[in-house]
Chains A and B, each alone.
Chain A
Amino acid sequence: AQKVTQAQTEISVVEKEDVTLDCVYETRDTTYYLFWYKQPPSGELVFLIRRNSFDEQNEISGRYSWNFQKSTSSFNFTITASQVVDSAVYFCALRDYNTDKLIFGTGTRLQVFP
């Protein structure tokens, strides 16, 4: 069965700290896609990144970076020099290749204090 685990329910940091959000996934598919979404207090879901199973390159986008490791089935997300605006719930998701269904983790609530 496919599953996504975000073990960290809630993380609190002070502004400018670095923070890593963990994501572990399970799938038997050889082709799959992983995503991170951000849900700010306003409630909408904001797409951050996707990664396919054949591309293990890490990615950096400004203060955001992602570490994809197939060997440990992990797709972790790091925010460098966090800011108050980063406060949100972050979801990791796995997409079923055949049906496009998204399997979400339970989310990690990040609170960044000034």
Chain B
Amino acid sequence: NAGVTQTPKFQVLKTGQSMTLQCAQDMNHEYMSWYRQDPGMGLRLIHYSVGAGITDQGEVPNGYNVSRSTTEDFPLRLLSAAPSQTSVYFCASSSGNHPNTEAFFGQGTRLTVV
């Protein structure tokens, strides 16, 4: 059972570079989301999606884009990386039809922007 798969696990970018963090789930979950984790701040929601073709902004969306063309995939794009985007990123998925279930998280991507 793969669950939620994030790639890459580690990434170093130079300021101004762009990249895409990949997230895929094989549980047919409707809801997917991206969080960033910074020291002392917990996990903060970047973007989320309640189904294919539907996305919305979370708490800290600036500098990030998302799209949801399929149920399985929810990539996160950094358009022009900045040192402030150095963080650990987590993708999560959950079943909107069964709210009394937990969100499943990927292993995380540790991103450093220099």
Contact = CB atoms under 8 A, between A and B. Distances in A.
Nearest to B110: A43
Contacts, number: 63
Interface string A22-63: 000000000001010100000111010010100000000000
Nearest to A100: B31
Contacts of B90: 45
Interface of B: 31, 33, 35, 40-45, 48, 50, 56, 58, 88, 90, 92, 94, 96, 99-105, 107-108, 110
A50 to B, nearest CB: 5
Interface of A: 6, 9, 33, 35, 37, 43-45, 47, 50, 52, 91, 93, 95, 97, 99-107
B103 A100 contact: yes
Chain B contact surface mostly: strand
B50 A47 contact: no
A100 B94 contact: yes
9 contacts: A9-B40, A43-B108, A45-B105, A47-B102, A91-B43, A100-B48, A102-B92, A104-B43, A106-B42
A52 B102 CA distance: 11
**What 6 A-B pairs have minimum CB-CB distances, sorted nearest first?**
A100-B31, A104-B42, A106-B42, A45-B105, A104-B43, A47-B102
Given A101-B33, A105-B42, 17 more contacts: A9-B40, A35-B102, A43-B107, A44-B105, A44-B107, A44-B108, A45-B108, A47-B102, A91-B43, A99-B48, A100-B94, A100-B103, A101-B48, A102-B35, A104-B35, A104-B43, A107-B42
